[in-house]
Amino acid sequence: MTVVVQKKIRYLCWDRAYLDWMSENEVRLHQGFLAVLGRGLVADVSHYWLERMKVQKYSFLLRGVVLKSYILPEERKELEEYRIDNNVEWDEHHEALSLIGWTEKEFNVGNKNHD
């Protein structure tokens, strides 16, 4: 199995046989591992869902603005302020546009059916 890491991480490397033996013979160590792994998993899943919710919420705001098939300059400014205040990255902005069926060009022009 190959693992590709996209950011700097810290890790522990253990002898698997020794770790298995310790886990079976040291109940407190086993419980500690389960607790740490469980907290890490919950934190990772929570972070993932919070990020997904951020994009979903932004796409809902976009959808509400573009119902009329055009965007007013003030609306675009308000969306930009929302992106900045809520740390919505450019790739998330593009993903949200894609979710509502708009392109970046249409968004910048301010009209879904531009010519």
Task: Per-residue pLDDT tens, the chain, 115 aa: give them.
Answer: 666 777 777 766 777 777 677 767 777 776 776 666 666 656 666 677 777 788 888 888 888 888 888 888 888 898 898 888 888 899 989 988 888 889 989 988 888 876 5
**Domain span holding position 28:** 16-109
Q: Does residue 96 lie in a domain region?
A: yes
Beta carbons of 102 and 95 less than 8 angstroms apart? no
Residue 2 belongs to a domain = no
Structural domain total, the chain:
1
Phi, psi values for residue 20, rounded to 5°: -60, -45
Burial of 71 (0-12, 13-18, 19+ CB in 10 A): buried
Q: What share of the chain is helix, strand, coil (3-state, %, to 5)?
A: 70, 0, 30
4 found inside a domain: no
- pLDDT at position 3, please? 67
> How far is the C-alpha of 115 from the C-alpha of 111, rounded, in Å?
9
